Amino acid sequence: MKKIMKSFVFAVLGAMMMVILYGCGSQTRGWEDNGQQLKKGDLIGISMPTKADQRWNMDGNNLVKKLEEQGFKTKLAYANNSPSQQSTDINNLVSAGAKAVVVASVDGTAVGPAVKQAKDNGATVIAYDRLIMNTESVDFYVTFELERTGILEAQTIIDRLDLKNGGGKDTPYNIALFAGSDDDNNAPYFFKGAWDLLQPYFESGQLVDPSGIVTKDFTTKDWKKISVHAWDQSQAQKQMDAIMTKLGDKPLAAVLSPYDAISLGAMKSIKNARPEMSPSIPFDSKNPTNASAWPIITGQDGMDIAITNIYHGAQAQTVFKDTSLLSDQTRDLLVDILEGKTPKSDKKPMNNGKKDVPTWLMNSDELVKNPKGEQKGLHYVVEVGFITEDQYQKDIKAPIIK
């Protein structure tokens, strides 16, 4: 009898242990509970937003190359800028056996359920360039210094319009302002970087927005009033058309654009509305009433069209992100996990509304035709291997505002 009791007690204890162990396992499932969870030969899923934009093609190719060099297998999917396509892509990557997914989201919030499913299946989730919002199911975030984009853009405008020395004091300078896509968590940071520097010139009356939307009382929180959904060039062109109508025949001093394709949309609109305006006559604060002058236009990404437009004076600068830095960081992080280490960043984590996500921040560069100080010349894109010399030659020979 004693023996039977003893076996019964052991059986009950054993069952309890199993329940406890299983419970813990399912709660902490992910890279934390087992540093060796990734091994050589594991599949890493890569989900990029769109093939239509030069930079995401570079990002995707770099990731494939660098992860395969480490012995991982990879699968790369492009979502055609569709949030539902991206969820399908992530589900497919996980079904194909991905042990980690690297996601540059189309819509940072909409992608939440898909990454939760990935995480529930034991995959590590890395938010790439754009933070994935309002979910616990994101382990790491790699991106570039976000506000820096807007800071560099605004500094060029301030400098070229001579605002510090009173440019616009007599007759206010007209400026058109754009922010990035309303579903991209990066966009308000880009705008904040610029607005913190430009707002004082709205306050002093040196800058005005002809559309009347942006005034001195505008705040960073209002950014969606000037956002361009999906970073779309033709949408930007439409928004610029409305601004040009309000501007009438007055001079236009500057366009704050957070992305090279938005800049191009704005240029096309300017050309249609005011054919007399020409990049060969850049806006000059010494002759601010010249209504044929071409505005100071900013951008981001160092796209081929930007190289062309900057070379010929149609665009003033672009904020260039060397995407190989981001793919190197992503690789390093996955290799840490492979080696059983916990990836550690010395930067402040970013909060996504649900958790503080460990974050890595890369540095971007400003490209201009005639660099000063820290700025870089256009050829820098060749020097860092972003494009080939051949492509660069094609870019600088191509016609502007295509």
Nearest CB to ligand BGC, comparing residues 59 and 395: 59
Question: Which neighbouring-strand residues pair with 173?
Answer: 207
Number of Cβ within 10 Å of residue 55's Cβ equals 23
Q: Least CB distance from residue 81 to ligand BGC, whole Å?
A: 9
Q: Least CB distance from residue 95 to ligand BGC, whole Å?
A: 27
Nearest CB to ligand BGC, comparing residues 298 and 300: 300
> Quick one: which H or E segment has residue 46?
strand 43-48
Nearest CB to ligand BGC, comparing residues 231 and 283: 231
Nearest CB to ligand BGC, comparing residues 174 and 324: 324
In this structure, are residues 250 and 270 in contact, taking their beta carbons and an 8 Å threshold?
no
Nearest to 67 by CA among 124, 105, 132: 124
Q: Least CB distance from residue 260 to ligand BGC, whole Å?
A: 7
Q: Least CB distance from residue 48 to ligand BGC, whole Å?
A: 10
Question: What token pair was written down for 124?
Answer: 């590590």
Nearest to 60 by CA among 111, 141, 109, 128: 128
Nearest CB to ligand BGC, comparing residues 37 and 298: 298
Eight-class DSSP state of 224: G
Nearest CB to ligand BGC, comparing residues 129 and 365: 129
Q: How many CA atoms lie within 13 A of 293 on its CB side?
A: 22
Q: Which residues bind ligand BGC (CB under 6 A)?
A: 53, 55, 129-130, 180, 184, 186, 231, 259, 300-301, 321
Question: Rounded to the nearest 5 degrees, what angle is found at the Cα of 305, between the Cα atoms of 304 and 311?
Answer: 90
Q: Least CB distance from residue 286 to ligand BGC, whole Å?
A: 33
Nearest CB to ligand BGC, comparing residues 283 and 360: 360
In this structure, are residues 125 and 137 in contact, taking their beta carbons and an 8 Å threshold?
yes
CB environment 158-193: b (16+ within 10 A), e (fewer):
bebbbbeeebbeeebbbbbbbbbbebbbbbbbbbbb
Q: Least CB distance from residue 300 to ligand BGC, whole Å?
A: 5
Q: Least CB distance from residue 62 to ligand BGC, whole Å?
A: 14
